[in-house]
Amino acid sequence: MNLPPKKYSALVSEIRSFNPIRYGKSRNFKNGAVSYLSPYISRGVISLNEIAKLVFERYHPKDAYTFIKELAWRDYFQKVWEAKADEIFTDLKHQQEKVKHHNSVTAVVHAKTGIHELDAEIRSLYERGYLHNHIRMYIASVTCNIAGAHWFKPSQWMYYHLLDGDPASNALSWQWVAGSFSSKKYYCNQENINKYTGSKQQGSFLDEEYEKLVNMEVPEILKEKENTQLQTQLPKSECDLSHSIDGTVFIYNSFNLDQEWHKDKPGTRILLLEPSHFEKHPVSEKVMRFILDQSLMIPDIRICVAEFHDVQQAWSNANFIFKKHPTTTHYRGIEETPLSLFPSVQGYFPSFSAYWKRAEKEMFKMDKNKSLFD
C-alpha cells in the first residue's frame, strides 16, 4: 500500500466511502478492509473527532463499533502520553520480564528471521513506511518475547520507518506486547501468522504450541543483536531569523499538518522542525519526505529548522499560535486545544477498559445527540 500526501478534501471523501462493517469483519487480516488513515491522523491532517463524525453520518454506532474502538485506542494512548509525559518511554506498569539485552535484533532489522511473512513485511516497511497492526504485533512479539530484547530500542527502529510514527501509539503498543503496559506478554505462533496473512509456512521456530513458546530458548537465528544507529536528515531551513516578524505566526510541525487550521487568516505559516525533537525521535529520509510533501498542501508554508526558543527570541514581536500536543509543552503563545475523539472524556484512565467504559457511553449517546461531538 502506497500512502501519498493527501488533501483534506480527499480524505473526507475516502472516509465517506469507508465501510466500518467490512472493517469490523476483516481488520485482523493482513488484506482486511483497514482504513490506512494512520499517517494522516498521526500527522494531524485529520482528527479522530472529525473521522468519527463523518462515519456517524452514515452508520449507527453499533455498526461502526469496532472501528471507533480502534480510534479510541489511539485517543487513549495520547491521553496516557499527556498524563505521563516521558515516562511512557520507560516500563510503565511493570518491568519487562526476561530481558536479555537492550538492543535491536539483527535478524529482524535485516528481514532475515526466516518467518517469510515477517521478512517480506519488514522489507515492505523500508519501502513504503507502513505495517498492518497484526504485523506490528508479530514483529514486536518475536523481538521482545522470543528474542528477549527490551522493547525500547526496537520500538525506536520501527518508529523511524513508519509514516504514521506516533511516539505514544508506538511506545505503548510495544510495551503492551512486551508486558510492561499489560497484564501479560503477547505471543504469536506460526499458525496464527498463517491464518491472518494467508501464508502456509511450517517448521519455523514459531511453529509450536503457545505453552512451548513461552519457555522456549532463544532460537539461534535471533541471538545476534545490534545497536542500530538512527539519524534524521533535516532539510534546509527557509526561515530568516535575522529579520524580525510582526503579526501572527501559525506554527505547524510534524504532528500538526492541518490544512484547514485558520486557513483563511492572514499570517506567517511555518513548519517548525526542531533538531532536539528529531534527536529524541529520529525518522528516516522517507518519513521526512512524507512530512515535507504533506506540508506542501498548506499554502505559503516555510520550513523552519530551529528550536522554538530561538524562533521566539528572533521574532519577539510575533504572536505565535499553535495546537496543544505533548511535544509542544515548551512553545509559548496562544495554545489551542484540539477536540479529542470524545470531547467530554478527558484525563488519565489507568486502563483502556476503564477509558472505554466511559467512551462507549458517549458513543451511544451520539446517535441521539450529534452535538455531543463538538
Ligand X SMILES: Cc1cc2nc3c(=O)[nH]c(=O)nc-3n(C[C@H](O)[C@H](O)[C@H](O)COP(=O)(O)OP(=O)(O)OC[C@H]3O[C@@H](n4cnc5c(N)ncnc54)[C@H](O)[C@@H]3O)c2cc1C
- CA 209 to CA 45: how far, in whole Å? 43
Contact at 8 Å (CB) between 41 and 78? no
Q: Which of 96, 170, 180, 253 binds ligand X (CB under 6 A)?
A: 170
* Residue number, 91 or 166, with CB nearest to ligand X: 166
52 binds ligand X (CB under 6 A): no
Question: Residue with C-alpha cell 511453529?
Answer: 207
The identity of residue 340, as a single letter, is S
Per-residue DSSP letters for 53-107?
HHHHHHS-TTTSHHHHHHHHHHHHHHHHHHHHGGGGGS--SSPPSS--BSSEEHH
CB-based contacts of 242, cutoff 8 Å, min separation 6: 314
Q: Which of 54, 108, 115, 140 binds ligand X (CB under 6 A)?
A: 140
Q: Restricting to residues 5-34, which ones interact with ligand X according to CB under 6 A?
A: 27, 34
* Residue number, 74 or 269, with CB nearest to ligand X: 74
* Residue number, 160 or 315, with CB nearest to ligand X: 160
Q: Could you tell me the smallest distance in angstroms from the CB atom of residue 165 to ligand X?
A: 5
Element spanning 272, H or E: strand 268-273
Instruction: Write b or e for each residue in 265-298: b if 16 or more Cβ atoms lie within 10 A of its Cβ, otherwise e.
Output: eebbbbbbbbeebbeebbbbebbbbbbbebbebb
Q: Could you tell me the smallest distance in angstroms from the CB atom of residue 67 to ligand X?
A: 7
Q: Could you tell me the smallest distance in angstroms from the CB atom of residue 37 to ligand X?
A: 4
Part in contact with ligand X (CB under 6 A); list of ranges 135-143, 200-208, 233-241, 248-256: 135-143
CB-based contacts of 9, cutoff 8 Å, min separation 6: none
Q: Could you tell me the smallest distance in angstroms from the CB atom of residue 351 to ligand X?
A: 14
- CA 308 to CA 329: how far, in whole Å? 11
328 binds ligand X (CB under 6 A): no
Q: Which of 162, 251, 303, 321 binds ligand X (CB under 6 A)?
A: 162
Q: Restricting to residues 65-84, which ones interact with ligand X according to CB under 6 A?
A: 70-71, 73-74, 77
35 binds ligand X (CB under 6 A): yes
Contact at 8 Å (CB) between 362 and 89? no
* Residue number, 72 or 306, with CB nearest to ligand X: 72
Q: Could you tell me the smallest distance in angstroms from the CB atom of residue 149 to ligand X?
A: 13
Within 10 Å of residue 34's Cβ, how many Cβ atoms? 21
Identify the three-state secondary structure at position 2.
coil
End-to-end CA distance of the chain: 33
Grid cell for residue 5 = 500526501
Part in contact with ligand X (CB under 6 A); list of ranges 134-142, 242-250, 307-315, 343-351: 134-142
Element spanning 197, H or E: helix 190-197
Convert residues 196-225 into a mask of x (bound to ligand X by CB under 6 A) and - (unbound).
------------------------------
Grid cell for residue 114 = 526466516
- CA 135 to CA 39: how far, in whole Å? 17
165 binds ligand X (CB under 6 A): yes
Backbone angles phi, psi at 82, to 5 degrees: -60, -40
* Residue number, 16 or 212, with CB nearest to ligand X: 16
Part in contact with ligand X (CB under 6 A); list of ranges 56-64, 161-169, 241-249, 342-350: 161-169
Convert residues 247-286 into a mask of x (bound to ligand X by CB under 6 A) and - (unbound).
----------------------------------------
Binding site for ligand X (CB under 6 A): 27, 34-38, 41-42, 70-71, 73-74, 77, 132-133, 136-137, 140, 158-159, 162, 164-166, 169-170, 173-174, 177
